[in-house]
Amino acid sequence: MPETVTVATVADLPPGRQKIVEAQGKEIALFNVDGQIYALDNTCPHAGFPLGEGDMSGEHVICPGHSFHYNVKTGECLNDPNMQATCFEVRIEGDEIVIMV
């Protein structure tokens, strides 16, 4: 069963920014796209680079390793349909960001 984990406050993550957090022993990358928060497994499924260190481009994050573009809402990879980043459900509770891990 997934557990809810508070990982940051909304104030920690302004629009257009990303942040790496840890929950249940996993590194997770948070992204703020136009005020909505999304969460992906921080490890790129291609070669293991940290997605949370990548540049954002609209609703995509560009992996710092090989510049693969992932949609932070769906985990879909624009560069290789075989690649899929793992998404986590995000809830905002008060001013806290809570994810289901």
Partner 1 sequence: MAEPVTEIRDETIEYFASPPEFFRKRRSQGSVIPSVLFGAPCYFLVGPKAHEFVHVSGRHLFSSAQAYRRVIESFGHGAIIAQDGEAWKIQHDIITPLFSPASLNRMFDIKKKLYADRMAQWPGEGTVDLLQESIMLAIRGSLRAMFGLDIDPVVNEVRDCLITFGEIAFMTFGMAETEARVKETHRKLEQILGPQIDAKRRNPGEDGMSYYATKYNPPLSNAEILQHAAGLMFAAHDTTKSMMTWSFYLMLHYPEYRARVMQEVAEKVGPELTFTPVSLPNKLPMLDNLIKEAERMYTPLHPNSRVVMEDFEFEGHHIPKGAIVQVDAFAVHYDPAIFYDPERFDPDRFAPPREEHKHSPYALFGVGGGERVCMGKPVARQDIKTALILALQNYELELVDQGELEIAWGPMTQPKNGLKVFVRPKESEGQRGTGA
Member of 64, 73, 90, 96 binding partner 1 (CB under 8 A): 64
34 binds partner 1 (CB under 8 A): no
Beta strands in the chain (DSSP E): 4-9, 18-23, 26-33, 36-41, 55-57, 60-62, 69-71, 87-88, 90-93, 96-100
69 lines the binding site for partner 1 (CB under 8 A): yes
Q: How far is the CB of 47 from partner 1 (least distance, A)?
A: 5
32 three-class SS: strand
Look at strands 60-62 and 4-9 and give their pairing: unpaired
Taking the complex as a whole, the smallest distance from the CB of residue 90 to partner 1 amounts, in Å, to 23
Minimum Å gap between C-beta 34 and partner 1 is 16
> What is the binding site for partner 1 (CB under 8 A)?
47-50, 53-55, 57-58, 60, 62, 64-69, 78-82
